[in-house]
Structure 1
Amino acid sequence: SFMGSINFFAKFLPNVNIIAKPLNDLRKKDSTMKWDTNAENAWQHLRMLITTPPVLATPDFTKRFQVFTDGSKKGVSAILAQHHQDGLKPIAFASRKLTRSE
C-alpha cells in the first residue's frame, strides 16, 4: 500500500510523520474523519517526496539489489533497493490491487 511504502522508507523522507498525520488519522478504526483538503495535501506531498530525486536512486548494476515485498488479501507491493555509500536507497516501487480470483 502507499502508506506501507511511506512507513518503510520513513527514514529517507523528511518530516514524514508530521506530513502523513492526516492520512494516518483516516486509517484509524474508529475514525469519523473524511477525505478533505488536509488529507489531499498530505497525499500529494508524500507522493512528491517519494518520486523526487534524490530519494529514488539510480541503479548501479555493479552492486547487488534487494527486493522487499509485501502482500495481503487486497494487494501486493514491492520495492527495489540498493545499498549506496550513504545507506539503503529505493530505486523503484511497484504495487497493485488483487482481483477477486487472486
Structure 2
Amino acid sequence: ISLLGTNIWYADRGEYDKIKDEGHLKHDPVEWTARWEEVIDEAEAKAYTRLQEHPQGMGFCHAYWPTLSAILAEDYDIQWRSPSQMNPKILFD
C-alpha cells in the first residue's frame, strides 16, 4: 500500500520519473494522478459507447486504446500513452 501512496504522491507533483511500475508491463505514469482517477470511468464509458458497433473480441484493444486516448486528450486535456505505446516490444491482441 505504501508503494501505491508514494506513486500517487509523485504523480500529483509531476515527478513521473520516480514512479515505480509493478509487474512486467510499463504503464503511463499519468494513470497515477488524481486527475486520471477523476475522469477515467467517464472516459472509458465514452470509449465503449463510441465503439459499441465494433466487435469486442480479440484485437479490440487496437480500436479501444486510440479511442480512449483521443477522448482523454479532447475532453480532459490528458495526454495518455496506451500499453502498446509504453511496451513497444510486446504484442497485444
TM-score (norm 2): 0.25
Structure with the bigger RCO (C-alpha within 8 Å, sep 6+) is 2
Larger strand proportion, structure 1 or 2? 1
Larger helix proportion, structure 1 or 2? 2
